[in-house]
Structure 1
Amino acid sequence: MNKIAYSMLVGCMLSFGGCVTENRPDKNKEVEQRLPVTDTASYRIVHFKDFSPYFSGTDTQLDSTTFSARYPVFADDIDSLVKKAIFIDGEDNIEQVADSFLGGFNEYAEEQIERGDQTFHTWYKHQDCRVVLNIPGFLTLRHAINDYTGGAHGMELELWYNFDLHDRKQLALTDVVQDTSKLRALAETYFRKQESLDDTTSYGGAYFFEDNTFALAENFGMTAEGLLFHYNPYEIKSYAEGATTLLIPYSELKDILTDKGKAIQLHISTKN
């Protein structure tokens, strides 16, 4: 670490003692216990937070780059299955995720400090993976990511994952719906109604960009209310218009669900 960066770090630690946190699981993780529920997967919630040692700002105001995460931890056999939904870039644990993000910022900060820039932009990354559906044999997780690494604005994403705990696999849409053509037509009807478009109005480049054709989002989730499709910013609209979520009630899907889809719907209706 260069002298400027070191003096900056020491000064901040003296003034803001609690701002810098060591990257140790026992200090950074707070565990919220959740009691097991009969016939459903039991889990606990882990909260994790870490900071970069580099601070940006002026003599009167400093800011630091932070990484935080909230995610469920299941029994080992389920944890290995849903790991891809929590550590989406293939990491083994949350410390690796934090180290990767903060390490990238630290390199950037050192370059800026070497140039004499003490007011460079700080970054942030917040990950929140939640259990949306937990019924016998099935799980749906929603992973929301909010980050900023420079530029005009940050980015917010939602990634949805559905798991069959009996067959130990991530569910594809065709595992749940047997006729995706009918599903697409039904989803487009809901989409047009939601966007206040009549049946003959062209998407005109305002939606779905060059293709100008309705398409199902690859991001889908089984929820208590219905089958959900989530389009992240830039996928079908401009960033300024944000994300789009489309929900189709199970009552509209009963004729095109697979046996597995019907089993999920039955569990949900029984639970409700």
Structure 2
Amino acid sequence: MSLLKFASMTCIALTLGACQSMFQPSAPKPLAFTNDASEQVKAGCTGQECPLVNIDTLHFADEPKLDALIEHRLLKMTVNSPEEAMAPSLNAYREQFLRTADSRNSTYLQAKVREQHDDLVIVELSSYLDTGGAHGMPGRGFINYSRKEHKEVTLQDMLLPGQEQAFWGAAKVAHNNWLISSHYGSDPEFVKNWPFEKTPNVALLKDNVALKYDVYSIAPYSEGHVELKIPYSRLKGILKPEWLPAKG
């Protein structure tokens, strides 16, 4: 069975209208949100080396599920080992960190709206933990939130059945393009030491699918969070039709 025929049969099997592109010409009004930013140092401490917690998050009055999801994902980014328990709330995490942190320790958590388009709100998550070493450890993540379904859209939700390998094949092509554009492709030692890897950080942006990588995953710390971009044109027959732009 051809891939195109399979995709068409998949659409027929779904409810009426489910295979219409989520990328509609008349996008809904952006979802309103407020920023909630705070910075707090350890009680009774003065000077430049006081432990501090900086939290910059978002609140969506009309989407409480998204609020809860953002808090959960930020808290998950604070867990650094399998034995470490996740704090029940951002406030609890702040209190716990400041109570136990040593001098020069700091932590930073941020949620920001990367894009709003069509049915989706794309939230980018950032973390940074400094324990007084040469440099801190940053982290990144994405939430693809469907306003229509009131839930996160995962990679498995995006893909047609059996297409995960093809998706990562397209990602590897994007990685090769990044190697060439960054001039690392001509360095055999770099290619050997920093091979392509999968990442859990996938975002359905308006113009492409973005993959964000943690430091030390496919490049040295100095390269920061490498972001690969896959054109939607490469993902026909891989993504479910509703996640492809209508113009495509």
- TM-score between both structures, scaled by the size of structure 1: 0.65
List per-residue Cα deviations over 1:165-210 (Å, max 9, x = no partner).
33333222122232222222222122112112669x68754113xx
Match of 2:120? Answer: 138
Match of 2:233 in 1: 251
Q: 1:225/1:137 Cα in 2 relative to 1: closer, same or farther (>3 Å)?
A: closer
Contact in 2 for aligned 1:51/1:66 (Cα 8 Å): yes
1:207/1:136 CA distance change after superposition, 3 Å: same
Structure 1 position 47 matched with structure 2 position 29: no
From 142, 167, 174, the counterpart of 1:190: 174
Within 5 A, what are the aligned runs for 1:108-119? 108=102
**C-alpha contact (below 8 Å) 1:160/1:221 kept by paired residues:** yes
Q: Is 1:103 matched with 2:99?
A: yes
Counterpart of 1:229 (choices 195, 211, 214) is 211
Judge conservation of contact 1:176–1:258 (CA < 8 Å) in 2: yes
1:79 aligns with 2:63: no
Aligned 8 A contact 2:146 2:152 in 1: yes
Task: Name the SS for the 1:175 alignment partner.
Answer: helix
What is the rounded CA distance, in whole Å, between the counterparts of 2:67 and 2:223 in structure 1? 35
The CA deviation string for residues 187-236 of structure 1, in whole angstroms up to 9 with x for no partner, is 2122112112669x68754113xxxxx33211111223311111101223
After alignment, is 72-81 or 155-164 more displaced? 72-81
List per-residue Cα deviations over 1:138-186 (Å, max 9, x = no partner): 2221111122012332111111122223333322212223222222222
In structure 2, the partner of 1:65 is 51
| Aligned twin of 1:206 | 193
TM-score, normalised by the number of residues in structure 2: 0.70
The more displaced of 168-177 and 125-134 is 168-177
What's the offset of the Cα at 1:245? 1.1
User: Are residues 166 and 91 of structure 1, via their aligned partners in 2, closer, same or farther at CA, if it must alter by over 3 Å?
Assistant: farther
Partners in 2 of 1:177 and 1:235 — Cα distance?
24
C-alpha displacement of 1:251 = 3.1
Which segments of 5 or more consecutive residues in structure 2 lack a partner in the other structure? 1-26, 79-85
C-alpha contact (below 8 Å) 2:35/2:57 kept by paired residues? yes
**Deviation sequence 1:228-264 (CA, Å, 0-9, x none):** 11110122333344331111122332342203413xx
Q: Which residue of 2 aligns with 1:180?
A: 164
Tell me the number of residue pairs that the alignment of Structure 1 and Structure 2 aligns: 205
CA distance in 1, matches of 2:221, 2:158: 31
CA–CA distance in structure 2, aligned partners of residues 216 and 139 of structure 1: 23
**2:122–2:144 Cα contact (<8 Å) kept:** yes
Deviation at 1:81, TM superposition (A): 4.1
Where relative contact order (Cα < 8 A, 6+ residues apart) is larger, the structure is 2
1-structure distance, mates of 2:70, 2:241: 23
Superposed CA RMSD in Å reads 2.8
The aligned residue for residue 167 of structure 1 is 149
Letter in 2 for 1:248: I
Q: Structure 1 residues 38, 261: closer, same or farther in 2, change over 3 A?
A: closer
Distance 1:180 1:192 in 2: 19
Counterparts in 2 of 1:252 and 1:202: CA distance versus 1, 3 Å: farther
Distance 1:242 1:131 in 2: 20
Shift of 1:48: 1.2
User: Given residue 33 of structure 2, which amino acid in structure 1 is its aligned partner?
Assistant: Y
Percent identity of paired positions between Structure 1 and Structure 2:
18
The answer to whether the Cα contact below 8 Å between 2:66 and 2:151 also exists between their aligned partners in 1 is: no
